[in-house]
Structure 1
Amino acid sequence: MSHYMNGLVVRAEGVPAEIVELRLPEIGPGQVRVRIRAAGVCHSDLSMVNGTLRPPHPLILGHEAAGEVLEIGDHGSAGPAAENRSNPDGRRAAVGDRVVLNWQPACRNCWFCEHGEPWLCSTSHGVAALENGITLDGAPVHVTLGVGALAEQVVVPENALIRVPSDLDFDSAALLGCAVLTGTGAVRNTARVQPGESVVVIGLGGVGLSVVSAARAAGAAQVIAVDVSEAKKGLAEAAGATDFVVSSENLSKDIRSRTNRLGADHAIECVGRASTIRAAWRATRTGGQVTVVGMGAADDMVQLSALEIFSSARILRASVYGQADTDLEVPSLARDVLDGKLSLDHLITDRIGLADVPAAFDRMARGEGARSVVVL
């Protein structure tokens, strides 16, 4: 039986996204069909549109989402993590289950997975888009980060499912799959912020605000939130920032003036530009750590002199998907939300429909708001 659904598609580079009818494939072994109930509009999706990234086309946008399982194929070869096996038959989920979609599922068999780094899984790391059988006018369509979640339904591998409690609202569940996990993981797993330390957060979208909240939760004494827009101040304070700074050419001096002229212990960059990575570097104290979370363009080069790398003794590293084992950490974050330990209220500034996503991209480009969530 053929299934059809609407999705937000970019047909070619430079062409505006449009809602079109797509045909889903029959579900094969190891695949599942999921009805999307909520999907976040992420900066990575904007990067697929504005030329920062150059994915193949036509392309269904979206990757941060939650929904409910509609159909499950036969057992495939991908082995789910034991911690997520809660059904009697050992499947990751059953029809009707509420799930978060993992846009970088671990195979559990490659070198990186076997050495405790599933966020670098060689089967999914660095995959901007792929085909999974969905077609438009009979021709194959690519899906963003293997998901294509700005659509009414998706077809994904079974190991991309992460079950969450049925009383967790879909809006919150969607954000756990990217913004919250990425931001929280950058603080806990990559930077490993300690109580009493100072943290600068550059870029206050959904991920950056999640970093702010996680840094405060980790016990940081000072969390300095930085953005180009003064309008982000209220959001930053709601997330737990102790200071707010509008970015300028004097950013490093502003940060040092607030940190006993030393610079911050940590700078976490959530923009993905050479200029802001360099600003994060300069705002960090000697011996401090710079964590890059933002995903930038291949030709945007960061320049650091050999002498300053040596003399500053700073650490510069990236945080990919929060450096997290998603099968363990997403359910943990879900429990924190339901227990009241983690509030996501400040992250969602707009609830929209599929047709409103281009306007959400415009707001994002202007630096307005936090997360727009498509409700389906």
Structure 2
Amino acid sequence: MKIKAAVFREPGVPFSVETLDLAEPRAGEVLVRVAAAGVCHSDWHLMTGATRHATPVVPGHEGAGVVAAVGPGVTRVQAGDHVALNWAPSCGACFYCLHDRPSLCDTYVGPIWAGAMMDGTTRLSQDGRPVYHFSALACFADHAVVPESCCVPLPRDVPLTVAALIGCAVTTGVGAVLNTAQVRPGSRVAVYGAGGVGLSIIMGAKLAGAGRIIAIDAHEAKGDMALSFGASDFLMAGPDTVGRIQGMTEGRGADYVFEAIGLPQVQEECLMAARPGGVIVLAGVAPMGSATNLPGAIITRQEKTVTGTYYGSANPARDFPLYAGLYRRGLLDLDRLISRTYPLERINEAYADMLSGEIARGLIVFEGA
């Protein structure tokens, strides 16, 4: 079938909306009519060269839609199901899946980074030449063929725009709090970065009962957003940020410090913003090949814990419905996370708005969604 998709070809060159060929789903695969796809920094890392990937490639890793057709052997979903898309498919049988860490599944990691399906081939092409899939989804397109485990059914009363955010930002942020850090009630929390993931961390910290939530961002416009989502304080990033965090925490530093930006220098600052015995959680994806200098002497002598969180340490089959349920009960304010919507043809405008720092989350919304 012919589809419209945003295509990335090389760093620094804007996304182009093109007509591609999409093959029908094979065994264990699902054809999804995409309804909405989030405008996230992880796709933009292709544009800057921070993430390297086979090209041409269709980005888009935060999405939701309606199942249009299924390939042979598919049993988890059927045509008509509303699904949030999981960009970390899992086999259910490897070491990591059996230890409840499906986002670390080592069966899928090779094909995903090769931009292919599990059989090593692509379903996308143009003039007979392969076009690659980003993060197993390639959902900056009106239709996508994805592995069955990428599809998590959600109730129909959850808007597909909200379901798209559950597919990445919400699960990464809320999961970092509830799964990775397991924040305790009454804790002091600092969150570096108030984009989609950072605001989701703030919502997660509020849900966990944190006593004080300090948001830090380089964009002043993010202040009101952070406070409205549950932060108790907002700080503009600057040379005195650590000192101000310590001043708000009896001179000790935060119990938990979350980094949702992906810059080594910010990650290094997070170590200093945490109190002795505190926990630093790195949720932002740093550029490939970069290095973060975290002094071992400080980590040892002050007993600080530094941990990464990949997809919020989530089990999407369990956590997507959980977060959808919290949304339906009014405990996660996900509608307000959506600042602006755009048609696919305005994808470059959507990324310009994201980079301006003035919006929480933009969404590409497809006709008929």
Shorter-chain TM-score tier = over 0.9
Structure 1 distance, partners of 2:224, 2:177, is 21
Structure 2 distance, partners of 1:306, 1:74, is 52
Deviations 1:66-124 (A, max 9, x none): 10011111106xxxxxxxxxxxxxx2111011011111011011111112211210023
- Identity between Structure 1 and Structure 2 (%): 37
Deviations 1:45-69 (A, max 9, x none): 1111111111110010101001001
Structure 2 distance, partners of 1:102, 1:282, is 34
Deviations 1:310-369 (A, max 9, x none): 112100000010101100110111122122222113311111111222122222223221
- Per the alignment, residue 123 of structure 1 pairs with 107
2:77 to 93, 96, 104: 93
What secondary structure does 2:7 align onto? strand
> Normalised by the size of structure 1, how large is the TM-score?
0.93
Q: C-alpha displacement at 1:143, in angstroms? A: 1.2
Question: What letter matches 2:63 in structure 1?
Answer: A
* 1:242-321 pair list within 5 angstroms: 242-321=232-311
Structure 2 distance, partners of 1:119, 1:29, is 22
Structure 2 distance, partners of 1:128, 1:368, is 31
Q: C-alpha displacement at 1:130, in angstroms? A: 0.9
Is the 2:6–2:18 Cα contact (8 Å) retained in structure 1?
yes
Question: What letter matches 2:37 in structure 1?
Answer: A
What secondary structure does 2:90 align onto? coil
1:114 to 98, 101, 104: 98
Establish whether residue 216 from structure 1 lines up as the match of residue 206 from structure 2.
yes
| Residues paired across the two proteins, number | 360
Question: What letter matches 2:40 in structure 1?
Answer: C
Establish whether residue 54 from structure 1 lines up as the match of residue 39 from structure 2.
no
Deviations 1:7-38 (A, max 9, x none): 00012233221000010112211111100001
What secondary structure does 2:289 align onto? coil
* 1:63-102 pair list within 5 angstroms: 63-75=61-73, 91-102=75-86
Q: C-alpha displacement at 1:129, in angstroms? A: 5.1
Structure 2 distance, partners of 1:153, 1:19, is 13
Establish whether residue 231 from structure 1 lines up as the match of residue 256 from structure 2.
no
Establish whether residue 190 from structure 1 lines up as the match of residue 180 from structure 2.
yes
- Per the alignment, residue 181 of structure 1 pairs with 171
Q: Taking structure 1 as reference, are residues 306 and 343 closer, same or farther at Cα in structure 2, changes over 3 Å only?
A: closer
Structure 2 distance, partners of 1:326, 1:48, is 25
What secondary structure does 1:113 align onto? helix
What secondary structure does 1:8 align onto? strand
- Per the alignment, residue 199 of structure 1 pairs with 189
Q: C-alpha displacement at 1:158, in angstroms? A: 1.2
Structure 2 distance, partners of 1:366, 1:62, is 20
Structure 2 distance, partners of 1:259, 1:273, is 24
2:19 to 15, 18, 21: 21
Structure 2 distance, partners of 1:179, 1:27, is 27
Is the 2:191–2:257 Cα contact (8 Å) retained in structure 1?
yes
Question: What letter matches 1:263 in structure 2?
Answer: G
Aligned residues: CA RMSD: 1.2
Establish whether residue 356 from structure 1 lines up as the match of residue 346 from structure 2.
yes
> Normalised by the size of structure 2, how large is the TM-score?
0.95
Establish whether residue 30 from structure 1 lines up as the match of residue 20 from structure 2.
no
Question: What letter matches 1:119 in structure 2?
Answer: S
Is the 1:176–1:330 Cα contact (8 Å) retained in structure 2?
yes
Structure 1 distance, partners of 2:80, 2:268, is 47
Unaligned ranges ≥5, structure 2: 117-121
- Per the alignment, residue 155 of structure 1 pairs with 145
Unaligned ranges ≥5, structure 1: 77-90
